[in-house]
Structure 1
Amino acid sequence: MIYEKEYVLRRKKLAKKLSSNAVLIVFSAAQKIRSNDTEFPYRQDSNFYYLTGFKEDKAALVIVKEKKEFKTYLFVTKKDPSLELWTGKRLGQEKAKKCFLVDDVFYYEDLGKKFSHFIDNRYALYYDFKLDYSKVKMIKAKTKNISAYFNAAILIEELRLIKSASEIKLIKKALSITKEAHHKAMQISSSLKYEYELQAEFEYIFKKNGAYSDAYTTIVACGNSANTLHYIANDKKLIKNELILIDAGCEYEYYASDITRTIPVSGKFTQAQKEVYKMVLDVNKTIIEMIRPNILRSELQKKSEELLCRGMLRLGILHGELEELLEEKIYKKYYPHGIGHWMGIDVHDQCPYKTIRGDELRLKAGMVMTIEPGIYLDKDDKSVPKKYRGIGIRIEDDILVTKEGYENLSCDIVKDIDAMQELIRTNSSNQ
């Protein structure tokens, strides 16, 4: 749980980044139509939630800054009993005033009129440049005298890079639930027939533990399906002696987890699978050990490419000189993605990797990122030794950068071969 005082602190930090005599506006997410008159489950805009903790649609936050002083205003939808009968209770203006430490709360229906007053004689306006056209049109209609426009999203996403203690606690909670789901999958996979049965188990465990949403669509990819990076069909049979790549994580109170484990359907790795798996696991562990303040993400990427390239040379998947393979990026055929990404309110957290000047950001204490080396060897690739064809392996952990180095937030989710096989064997013997 994040208390209101933390949202106040976030807004204060954001206000300090604004120029004098400026206005910032951030909107809630809109409802999204699934088909005809049915909607997807509502999910708040991440930047708006980061600043407010407010989960309703048709809402907005306005910050008005003079020189050093600033005021914040929250806009919420009016309570309407006839609509609430169908779509649920609204907080309303009076309760919002009690719940949120803002200077005032107004009706969202009055935003246009109030915004005209806020923006009068201001120098600068900050808003998300990705806003839909209708909102931009409303804003621009009120801002004829504005001298400068700035992208509010960039400033907010810079703040989101460094996680607070309460944010880290929520990520750890998400990971504790995700751990239960991954371990259950390891224990029952040999008794199931289809990929979607494992997906259903993940979704059940997530919801059972209060994580009402997955952080992204679960990937359950058996055999060659693992060589499609964003495979989400999850409709194939689980095949004896094949591997299952499972990329799954829940979202708990808006904070994500993102874990990939690759497990044997039958409970035991074949020799060929073990050779490729150990190569990827060694890279995963080595890169995690490199994490510390001031290191560059590109350094982690470069090292992972070198290590995987060496491993593929050793296994006969690649041929030639290491330096040439690295320079010509031949390895990308089998390792096409990055070593990891920021994680937080979004599973791929909307945070910058470079400064406005284009310089790469160095890691700092409080950042959370994934580390996920992988190898993908398609079954039809005749250049790969036959025993390795059809193997796809990714091993992904969630890492917190600390002042001393790092904390592997997902270290309790087993990934070593012996530990994984023991977990599977123990469950099988108890059935």
Structure 2
Amino acid sequence: MASSLSPAPVPMELHVLNREKLLKSIRQHLTDTSRPLNGFVFLQGGDEQTRYCTDHIELFRQESYFAYLFGVIEPGFYGAIDIATGKSILFAPRLPAEYTVWLGEVKPLSYFQEKYKVSMACYTDEIAGVLLDQYKGSGKPLLFLLHGLNTDSNNFSKPAEFEGMEKFETELSTLHPILTECRVLKSDLELALIQFANDISSEAHIEVMRKVRVGMKEYQLESMFLHHTYMYGGCRHCSYTCICATGENSAVLHYGHAAAPNDRTFKDGDMALLDMGAEYNFYASDITCSFPVNGKFTSDQSLIYNAVLEAHNAVIKAMKPGVNWVDMHKLAEKVILESLKKGSVLVGNVDDMMVERLGAVFMPHGLGHLLGIDTHDPGGYPKGTERPKEPGLKSLRTSRDLQQGMVITVEPGCYFIDALLVPAMENAHTSKFFNREVIDRFKDFGGVRIESDVIVTANGCENMTNVPRETSEIEAVMGGASWPLNKK
């Protein structure tokens, strides 16, 4: 299927606005803490990496904070923002003459200055001299370097390093929390890129639905998705490694990694759980669709699928500024537990199940996460906030109250995972809730996840993802119907 979409234009003004947003925030912070409004924000971009000891260069993708501020696609750059004047400076690597033979034209500094809308462009071997020349304060110039914890990965961002750094004072605590908070709320220009990534990814998911046939390999579904997003959307990067799980694999939350490489041959009667999202100009999408590979839901598949869909829809209906994300997770859990009770999978009082954290047995992951330049965008746990410790809730990637301008995924799921079910069915506090005869029917079921990317608006939210969700819609599209269904 050809696409009705074409790659969206990428205005560099987006990154100019991001720099202005940071500058305003850091100036306000310095004023509030009675510190002088001078020095430089200074970041190091990413470098190309080779495959171990070989000369095979892995496909480069820019470091995310640097991408946010400068939009630079090339490796080896540095960037500075003069806090006193607002002047932005890019530092490009000085390339050897033979670069032209092997890798193409050596661009002049004026090219980078114009392309990335910065005040100045210089070479990386000039960093110390240029910054000292620009500085109008007294004493050693202060560099605000990026160093802080990513609460999703538990890794620290790496502060910049360059020759001549001893001529500057450096500060490691101020920049990271301020720049991270800038990334939490998206501008209209950022939203346009996230929407395009959603549009092309939604289209690709539908294309996969239509082409699925019993007997295929999981990696063929991944291939179809990647082809569509690259062919029609210009998306060279995926937001993350595709999860193409079928049958019992759909209960493996992060399936698709090197040790489980989307290589199963799926069978008639399997459910598929496809978690795939394209990245466009650094900005991510993250979409999950679940459906029967033969195109027709069984009663058991409908029961679990609709439990998750009702949770997905209930959360989106309740989302608005001021709503707490932990409460949204609990809402999703409760809706799923109520559906499982209605379907006789569980018995007993749902409120009692919630007290015993039974929802975490069926949905051990968090409800969703912030989305932007990273699939798991930073800012989920600002300094001073604590991660919940209860089962299920401890996996939440944020516990924040929603704010207008946040983009967050809504991805409830229901899985039948022996490693969680067996202990819960043997536990004195939770065993009474299980209808063992019915549970046995779902032993090799796997799981269902439904994931959409949602923008928080002034009075509610908007779903940026556009794929079939109702069972009747999925069956119609898998049977060849156009999407949306009323489209001629």
- TM-score when normalising by structure 2: 0.80
Aligned-partner SS, 1:38? coil
Aligned-partner SS, 1:81? coil
Query: Which position in structure 1 is the counterpart of 2:167?
Result: 142
1:364 equivalent in alignment to 2:408: no
Shift of the 97–378 alpha-carbon distance from structure 1 to 2, 3 Å rule, reads closer
Deviates further, 329-338 or 91-100: 91-100
Query: Which position in structure 2 is the counterpart of 1:12?
Result: 20
2:60 to 34, 42, 45: 42
1:94 to 102, 110, 117: 110
Query: Which position in structure 1 is the counterpart of 2:124?
Result: 108
Structure 1 contact 273–388 (Cα < 8 Å) conserved: no
AA in 2 matched with 1:32? Q
Structure 1 contact 79–91 (Cα < 8 Å) conserved: no
Aligned-partner SS, 1:426? coil
2:206 to 165, 179, 183: 183
1:414 equivalent in alignment to 2:468: yes
Shift of the 89–326 alpha-carbon distance from structure 1 to 2, 3 Å rule, reads farther
Deviation (angstroms), 1:164: 1.7
Query: Which position in structure 1 is the counterpart of 2:452?
Result: 397
Q: Distance in 1 between matches of 2:352 and 2:39?
A: 53
Aligned-partner SS, 2:335? helix
Q: Distance in 1 between matches of 2:414 and 2:230?
A: 31
Query: Which position in structure 2 is the counterpart of 1:343?
Result: 371
Q: Distance in 2 between matches of 1:316 and 1:142?
A: 71
Structure 2 contact 39–83 (Cα < 8 Å) conserved: yes
Aligned-partner SS, 1:7? helix
Aligned-partner SS, 2:408? strand
AA in 1 matched with 2:96? D
Deviation (angstroms), 1:140: 5.8
Deviation (angstroms), 1:366: 1.7
Deviation (angstroms), 1:216: 1.0
Shift of the 258–179 alpha-carbon distance from structure 1 to 2, 3 Å rule, reads same
1:146-295 correspondence runs (5 A): 148-190=171-213, 192-209=215-232, 210-232=234-256, 233-295=261-323
Q: Distance in 2 between matches of 1:308 and 1:90?
A: 58
Identity of aligned residues (%): 27
Deviation (angstroms), 1:318: 4.0
Unaligned runs of 5+ in 2: 1-8, 31-36, 148-155, 387-398, 426-435, 483-488
Structure 2 contact 177–382 (Cα < 8 Å) conserved: no
Deviation (angstroms), 1:189: 1.1
1:333 equivalent in alignment to 2:361: yes
Structure 1 contact 21–122 (Cα < 8 Å) conserved: no
Query: Which position in structure 1 is the counterpart of 2:413?
Result: 374
Deviation (angstroms), 1:116: 5.5
Deviation (angstroms), 1:91: 3.4
**Structure ranking higher in strand proportion:** 1
Shift of the 139–162 alpha-carbon distance from structure 1 to 2, 3 Å rule, reads farther
Query: Which position in structure 2 is the counterpart of 1:30?
Result: 47
Aligned length: 421
Q: Distance in 2 between matches of 1:229 and 1:77?
A: 41
AA in 2 matched with 1:159? C
Deviation (angstroms), 1:131: 4.7
1:59 to 77, 82, 89: 77
Q: Distance in 2 between matches of 1:296 and 1:125?
A: 36
Q: Distance in 2 between matches of 1:58 and 1:343?
A: 26
Structure 1 contact 193–238 (Cα < 8 Å) conserved: yes
Q: Distance in 2 between matches of 1:270 and 1:376?
A: 17
Q: Provide, for residues 283-307 of structure 1, a one-character-per-residue CA deviation record: whole Å limited to 9, x for no partner.
A: 0110011111121211211211222
Q: Distance in 2 between matches of 1:181 and 1:307?
A: 29
1:118-133 correspondence runs (5 A): 121-122=139-140, 124-129=142-147, 130-132=156-158
Q: Distance in 2 between matches of 1:190 and 1:334?
A: 28
Aligned-partner SS, 1:190? coil
Q: Distance in 1 between matches of 2:18 and 2:166?
A: 29
Q: Distance in 1 between matches of 2:162 and 2:44?
A: 14
Shift of the 58–310 alpha-carbon distance from structure 1 to 2, 3 Å rule, reads same
Q: Distance in 1 between matches of 2:18 and 2:73?
A: 17
Deviates further, 31-40 or 120-129: 120-129
AA in 2 matched with 1:368? V
Shift of the 139–296 alpha-carbon distance from structure 1 to 2, 3 Å rule, reads farther
Shift of the 6–424 alpha-carbon distance from structure 1 to 2, 3 Å rule, reads closer
Query: Which position in structure 2 is the counterpart of 1:387?
Result: 441
Q: Provide, for residues 105-131 of structure 1, a one-character-per-residue CA deviation record: whole Å limited to 9, x for no partner.
A: 110122244455567725753211145
Shift of the 138–321 alpha-carbon distance from structure 1 to 2, 3 Å rule, reads farther
Structure 1 contact 399–407 (Cα < 8 Å) conserved: yes
